[in-house]
Amino acid sequence: MFLVWLMAVPLAGAIATLIAPKEVSKAIAAITSLVGLVGYAGLLFISRAGIDWAWIPQWGIRFHLVSDGLSLFLLGLSAVLFVVAVFASDAHAGRAYYFWLLVLSFSVVGLFAAVDLFVFYVFWEVLLIPVFFLLTGWSGERGKKAAMKWLIMNLVGSFFMLVGVVALAVIHNQNGGGLTFEISQLSGMSMSAGVASWLFFAFLVAFAIKAPLWPLHGWMPDAYGESPAPVTAIISGVLSKAGIYGILRVMIPIFMPQFREYQTLLLIVATAGLVYGALMALRQQDMKMVTAYGSLSHMAMMALGIFSLTSVGLLGTTFYMVAHGLMVGGLFLVLGMLENRTGTRTIQDMAGLNRSAPRLAAYFLFFVLGTLGLPGLPGFAGEYMIIQGLIASHVVFAVIAGFILIVAAWYMLRVFQAVMQGPARTTAIKDLWSRQVAWLVPLAGLVILIGIWPAGITAHAVPSLYHAMHFALGKGGVH
């Protein structure tokens, strides 16, 4: 029941923004997201909160939401990032902006908590719509094109996934198990290898597009480049995790044999994405695009953790999703502030800004270091676990991943060095306002907290990871 309230709060807030006068939209959104955050804090004390209502009983669809170790911290990630994104947003963005932001928050909660495949799919698609309108209405010149690309690419993937969802239920029914969309019941189902492979790729493509994973990242450059900073932070911090989360939540329990069959292929593709993202990040002159391609590379890293098919790799991905979300969200917001102050995103146009804005430079450096995986910050722990998993399964890919970590340091520090250090060529900019510091401090604090205490997440995640993957583990596929 608690989860329903957690979903109802942003929805109520969204409706409130429509009714209330334009001036208080941001206040409503801020209050709503803070209430959501407090509610989430309450959720931490309830182990395995969940509801299980009959939704469409004729088709065996149940409104089944659960917050277990897999979803709990992603719910937390979205709660935190939505608060931060609302605070970082333009107060004059208008009521529709906050309406869509809150609708997005609502659907993200539903997505991360769903364990019924139908419910999962519903929220999976619903969250495309608010992003589409946010990109259409509040982004740069090419925002409309970006929005179209976002919507169409994602829906192309998810429509095939829809056929997959129904096919799984129908096969389960034909096997004599009755019509159900419950992931735990669909797992370990017997189906012919050919059908299973088709379904496997239908799901994988949908998830890979959302993440995005190379080579299905076509929507990413436009969407990241054109959207306002808070929206970019949400997309890269929260929504991209939905793709990886989907692989963990849906595909691992159902398609373990296919994962094993195609493991080498998947590892090769993910590694190619890792290298591609890093090399593209090195080439960019736009600091936001550097981060975007860096993020693409990191998403590939998470995929590698899953495709290693080891429990430590999966755990690493689970942890790294939360860590990366917080850090890349923060980084995009800092970049947004920088862009607001300088009016440009091109690296060459800026230099030596740390003189006039030392606090901004400090936060920038903090998130850059976190993203490149400095020990003590959470990126390190996640990457460590993923590489550990890769060593256990295929050591070649571990070596490549380790090499790419060096490149990551290179491209991230290149941006920082060029923008913040060196002689002050550009005009001085204003430093952070105290209100901006007010929400950056808790975010940074949270990053440090999970950086020095990863067990806070992993200890929770391990049991439910094992629970969600009992089938895979039971078959001895995971070392």
Partner 1 sequence: MTYALWPEYSVVIGVFVTMIAVMVFNRRSIQAYWVGLATIVVSGIITIADWSSKSLPVALYGHAVTVDAFSLVVNGLVLVAAAGALMIGWNDKRYGPDFPVLVLLALLGMMVLGLANNFVVLFIGIELLSLPLYILAASRGTGESGEAGLKYLLLGAFSSGILLFGLALLYGASGTLVFTHLDPAHMILPLAGAGLALTVVGLVFKLGIVPFHMWIPDVYEGSPLPVTTYMAFGTKVGAAAILMRFLFFGFSLDAGWWGPALGYLAVLTMVVGNLLALAQKDLKRLLAYSGIANAGYLLVGISAHNMFGARALLFYLLPYGLAVLAAFAVIQFVAGERDSLSLDDLTGLAYRSPWLAAFLTVAMLSLAGIPLTGGFVGKFYLIQAALFANQPGLAIGLVVGAMVGLAAYVRPLQRAFSKAAGESSEPIRWPVAGSIVLVVAVVATIGLGVYPAPVVHIVNHSAAFYWLH
Please report, as ranges, the residues that interact with partner 1 according to CB under 8 A: 54-59, 96, 118, 121-123, 125-126, 128-129, 132-133, 136-137, 144, 147-148, 151-152, 155-156, 159-160, 162-163, 166-167, 169-170, 173
C-alpha closest to that of 157 among 114, 110, 218: 218
Q: Supply the minimum distance, in Å, between the C-beta of residue 163 and partner 1.
A: 5
Identify which of 171, 187, 189 has the alpha carbon closest to the alpha carbon of residue 179.
171
Looking at residue 23, the DSSP 8-state letter turns out to be G
State the CB neighbour count (10 A cutoff) for residue 263.
16
The answer to whether the CB of 414 falls within 8 A of the CB of 345 is: no
Tell me how far apart the alpha carbons of residues 451 and 448 are, in angstroms, rounded to a whole number.
5
Buried b (16+ CB within 10 A) or exposed e, 371-403: bbbeeebbbbbbbbbbbbbbbbbbeebbebbee
Closest CB to partner 1 among residues 106, 364: 106
209 close to 157: Cβ distance less than 8 angstroms: yes
Q: For 51, left (φ over 0), alpha (ψ -120 to 50), or beta?
A: beta
Q: How far apart are the first and last CA of the chain?
A: 36
Q: Which is nearer to partner 1, 89 or 284 (CB)?
A: 89
Cβ-based nearer residue to partner 1, 128 or 223: 128
Rounded distance between C-alpha atoms, residue 438 and residue 333, angstroms: 14
Q: How far is the CB of 184 from partner 1 (least distance, A)?
A: 21
Smallest distance, partner 1 to C-beta of residue 130, A = 11
Q: Compute the least distance from the CB of residue 107 to partner 1, in Å.
A: 9
Rounded least distance, CB 191 to partner 1, Å: 13
CB of 172 to partner 1, least distance (A): 11
Query: Would you say 7 and 106 are in contact if contact means Cβ atoms under 8 Å apart?
Result: yes
By beta-carbon proximity to partner 1, the closer residue of 58 and 434 is 58
| Identity of the residue, 61 or 72, whose beta carbon is nearer to partner 1 in the bound complex | 61
How many CB atoms are located within 10 Å of the residue 218 CB? 14
With respect to partner 1, which residue has the nearer C-beta, 112 or 121?
Answer: 121
**What does DSSP assign to residue 66?**
E
Nearest to 104 by CA among 136, 127, 133, 78: 127
User: How far apart are the C-alpha atoms of 102 and 9, rounded to whole Å?
Assistant: 9
Looking at this protein, which amino acid is placed at residue 38?
Answer: V
The helix (H) or strand (E) run that includes residue 378 is: helix 378-393
Q: What minimum distance in Å lies between the beta carbon of 244 and partner 1?
A: 21
Q: Which run of H or E residues covers position 228?
A: none
Q: Which residue number, 38 or 54, has a Cβ lying nearer to partner 1?
A: 54
- As a 3-state breakdown, the chain gives helix, strand, coil percent values, each rounded to 5, of 80, 5, 20
> To the nearest whole angstrom, how small is the minimum distance from the Cβ of residue 152 to partner 1?
6
The CB-of-136 to partner 1 minimum distance in angstroms stands at 5
> In the complex, what is the shortest distance from the CB of residue 195 to partner 1, in angstroms, rounded to a whole number?
9
Q: Rank residues 137 and 352 by Cβ distance to partner 1 and give the closer one.
A: 137
The backbone torsions φ and ψ at residue 138, rounded to the nearest 5 degrees and listed phi first, read -130, 45
Nearest residue to 291 (alpha-carbon basis) of 405, 385, 357, 372 = 372
Both structure tokens of 269 = 């593709």
CB of 163 or CB of 428, closer to partner 1: 163
- Structure tokens, 222: 């436009």
Report, in Å, the least distance between residue 21 CB and partner 1.
Answer: 14
Q: Which is nearer to partner 1, 21 or 423 (CB)?
A: 21
Look up tokens 């949400």; give the residue.
234
Q: Which is nearer to partner 1, 202 or 372 (CB)?
A: 202
Judged by beta carbon, residue 17 or residue 236, the one nearer partner 1 is 17
- Taking each helix axis from N to C terminus, what angle separates 311-342 and 455-468, rounded to the nearest 10 degrees? 130
Give me 282's structure tokens.
């090195």
Helix locations, 187-239, DSSP H: 193-210, 220-226, 229-234
Q: Closest approach of Cβ 147 to partner 1, in Å?
A: 7
